[in-house]
Homo-oligomer: A and B are copies of this chain.
Amino acid sequence: MSFTADDWVLVLDMLGTVVFALSGVLVARRLQMDGFGLLVLASVTAIGGGTIRDLVLGVRPVFWVVDVLYLWVILITCIVAIPLAQLLSRAKVNWLLLRADALGLATFTAIGVNKALDLGAPAIVAVGMGVLTGVGGGVIRDVLAREMPMVLCREIYATACIAGGLVQVLVDHQTGQTPLAMLSGMLVTLLIRLAALHWHWQLPTFGKLDQH
């Protein structure tokens, strides 16, 4: 059985869908929402980024209208995650939320860059599309939950995304191997983001001279 580049994209897309749905479940737990509200929050988090990607690229109708698999994956993720998440303390929920979000960010960024490269878009558009796809779902989740969007946080969020996107574009241009490029980009995004969370890395922030 051969495993094509399209299969890779599907596997990564499902992985991103599951972890972003999970991150929606964890935020819903923090807000003490009921089961169906949680399902809505998990769904917009999981398919929000891809929906924006498809809209901006002009793909229509949007992927989850065409392929019913996504909504079922979200539904099953919620059903499995609810009893498990009940066992977690608030601190563990926060810890897990940041990691699930990082994995979703890395996955969806790689997919967004890949779709744009498929269309022959130049590097800057591909990176921009990666950021939009990766960041979209999490931003909608945070805006609905009235929390500061992680993309605005100081612990290297967009930076990880942009670095991963640049690496992916480079590897893709040099080798022409889509799966290799996607995995490289994903790993770069994920490792930078996880390292930033672990060691509290921050880039020099803008606005230091605020006191004068």
Contacts and interface: CB of A to CB of B under 8 A. Distances in A.
Copies of this protein in the complex? 3
A67 to B, nearest CB: 9
B128 A139 contact: no
A43 interface: yes
Interface in A126-166: 128-129, 131, 135, 139, 143-146, 148-149, 151-154, 156-159, 161-162
A36 B196 CA distance: 14
B148 A146 contact: yes
Nearest to A203: B34
A176 interface: no
Interface stretch (A9-17, A96-104, A204-212): A204-212
Interface string A68-82: 100110010000001
Contact of A56 (B34, B57, B62): B62
25 contacts: A28-B206, A28-B207, A29-B207, A30-B207, A32-B205, A32-B206, A32-B207, A33-B206, A34-B203, A36-B158, A36-B161, A36-B162, A39-B158, A40-B131, A41-B152, A55-B56, A58-B62, A58-B65, A65-B116, A65-B125, A65-B129, A86-B207, A86-B209, A144-B151, A146-B148
